[in-house]
Amino acid sequence: MINYFRLHGSLLALAAGLAGISTVLSAQPVIKRTIDESVEAPVVRPAARQGSPNILIWMIDDMGFGQLSAYGGLVDTPNIDRVAAKGLRYANYHSTPICSASRASLLTGRNSHEVHIGGHSAMAIGFPGQDALVPRSAGTIAENLRQAGYRTYAVGKWDHLPPRDASAAGPFTYWPSGQGFDRFYGFLSYDADNFSPLLWSDHSPSPIPADDAYHLSGDMADQAIAMIRARSAAGTERAPFFLYWATGASHSPHHAPDDWLERYRGRFDAGWDVARAEILARQKAMGLIPASAELPPRPEGMKAWADLTPNERKLHARGMEAFAAQLAHADHEFGRMLQALEEQGELDNTIIVVTSDNGASAEGAPNGTYSEQLMANGRFATADENLEHLAEWGRRGTYPLYAVGWAVTGNTPFRYYKQTSFEGGIRVPLIITWPKGIGARGEVRQQYAHISDVMPTLLEAAGVTLAPIVNGVRQQPVSGTSLAYSFSQAAAPDAKKVQYYEMYGNRSIWADGWKAVMPHRLQTWDFKKQSPLTEQGWQLFDQRRDFNELHDVAAENPRKLAELRKLFDREARKYNVFPLTNTGAAQRLMAAKAEARLTQSGGLYRYQGRVDRVPEALAPPIHTHSFAMRMAIDAGTRGHGSLMAMGGKFGGLGLYLRDGVPVLAVRTMDGKLAVLEAPNIVTGKHEIGLRFDRLGPERARAVILVDGKEVAASEFSGALSVFIFSGNETFDIGSDPGTTVLDGVAMPFAFNGSIGETEFMVTSPAR
The pLDDT of residue 1 is 39
- Phi/psi of residue 560, each to 5°? -65, -40
Q: What is the mean pLDDT of residues 218-242?
A: 92
Over residues 549-563, the pLDDT tens digits come to 999 999 999 999 999
- Phi/psi of residue 314, each to 5°? -60, -45
Which residue type does 421 have? S
Is residue 714 within a helix (H) or strand (E), and if so which, with residue range?
Answer: strand 709-717
Which residue ranges make up each domain of the chain?
1-44, 54-498, 499-585, 602-764
For the cut 90, the answer to whether the pLDDT of residue 146 exceeds it is yes
For the cut 90, the answer to whether the pLDDT of residue 766 exceeds it is no
Is residue 461 within a helix (H) or strand (E), and if so which, with residue range?
Answer: helix 454-462
The pLDDT of residue 599 is 86
Comparing 24-38, 605-619, 742-756, which segment has the lowest mean pLDDT? 24-38
Q: Please name the residues in contact with 204: beta carbons below 8 A apart, sequence gap of 6 or more.
A: 168
C-alpha–C-alpha distance, residues 484 and 487, integer Å:
5
For the cut 60, the answer to whether the pLDDT of residue 715 exceeds it is yes
Q: Using pLDDT thresholds of 50, 70 and 90, give the confidence band for residue 594.
A: confident
Q: Please name the residues in contact with 723: beta carbons below 8 A apart, sequence gap of 6 or more.
A: 376, 377, 378, 587, 624
Q: Using pLDDT thresholds of 50, 70 and 90, give the confidence band for residue 26.
A: low
Q: Using pLDDT thresholds of 50, 70 and 90, give the confidence band for residue 597.
A: confident
Q: Using pLDDT thresholds of 50, 70 and 90, give the confidence band for residue 22.
A: very low
Is residue 731 within a helix (H) or strand (E), and if so which, with residue range?
Answer: strand 731-733
Tell me which residue of 350, 399, 391, 397 sits closest to 372, measured CA to CA. 399
The pLDDT of residue 97 is 98
C-alpha–C-alpha distance, residues 742 and 744, integer Å:
7
**How many residues are present in the chain?**
767
The pLDDT of residue 633 is 98
Q: What is the mean pLDDT of residues 684-689?
A: 97
First to last CA, the chain: 82
The pLDDT of residue 740 is 97
Check: pTM over 0.85? Answer yes or no: yes
Over residues 377-410, the pLDDT tens digits come to 999 999 999 999 999 999 999 999 999 999 999 9
Q: Using pLDDT thresholds of 50, 70 and 90, give the confidence band for residue 24.
A: low
Q: Using pLDDT thresholds of 50, 70 and 90, give the confidence band for residue 242.
A: very high
Asked whether 530 and 583 are in contact (CB, 8 A), the reply is yes
Q: What is the mean pLDDT of residues 709-725?
A: 95
Over residues 265-311, the pLDDT tens digits come to 999 999 999 999 999 999 999 999 999 999 999 999 999 999 999 99
**Topology classification of domain 602-764:** Jelly Rolls (2.60.120)
SS3 for 266? coil
C-alpha–C-alpha distance, residues 695 and 650, integer Å:
21
For the cut 90, the answer to whether the pLDDT of residue 531 exceeds it is no
- In the chain, what is the greatest distance between 2 CA atoms, to the nearest angstrom? 92
Q: What is the mean pLDDT of residues 66-77?
A: 98
SS3 for 145? helix
Segments in 22-97 forming alpha helices (H) = 78-85
Comparing 23-27, 467-471, 742-746, 755-759, which segment has the lowest mean pLDDT? 23-27
Which residue type does 553 have? V
Q: Using pLDDT thresholds of 50, 70 and 90, give the confidence band for residue 107.
A: very high
The pLDDT of residue 449 is 98
**DSSP 8-state symbol, 472:** T
Tell me which residue of 218, 98, 653, 196 sits closest to 399, measured CA to CA. 196
Burial label, 17 (beta-carbon count in 10 A; 0-12, 13-18, 19+): exposed
SS3 for 553? coil
* Residues paired with residue 761 on neighbouring β-strands, in sequence order: 604, 628
Q: What share of the chain is helix, strand, coil (3-state, %, to 5)?
A: 30, 25, 50
Tell me which residue of 480, 479, 494, 550 sits closest to 517, measured CA to CA. 550
The pLDDT of residue 649 is 96
Is residue 558 within a helix (H) or strand (E), and if so which, with residue range?
Answer: helix 558-574
Q: Is the peptide bond before 579 cis (omega within 30 degrees of 0)?
A: yes
Burial label, 546 (beta-carbon count in 10 A; 0-12, 13-18, 19+): middle
Q: What is the mean pLDDT of residues 206-214?
A: 93
C-alpha–C-alpha distance, residues 139 and 107, integer Å:
8
Q: What is the mean pLDDT of residues 333-358?
A: 98
CATH number of 499-585: 3.30.1120.10
C-alpha–C-alpha distance, residues 292 and 286, integer Å:
13
- What number of CA atoms fall less than 13 Å from residue 45's CA on the CB side? 5
CB count within 10 Å of CB 362 equals: 32
For domain 54-498, the CATH superfamily is Alkaline Phosphatase, subunit A (3.40.720.10)
Q: Using pLDDT thresholds of 50, 70 and 90, give the confidence band for residue 530.
A: confident
Rg (CA), the chain: 28
For the cut 80, the answer to whether the pLDDT of residue 21 exceeds it is no
Beta strands in 451-603 (DSSP E): 469-470, 473-474, 498-503, 506-511, 514-518, 539-542
CA 410 to chain centre: 19
For the cut 60, the answer to whether the pLDDT of residue 13 exceeds it is no
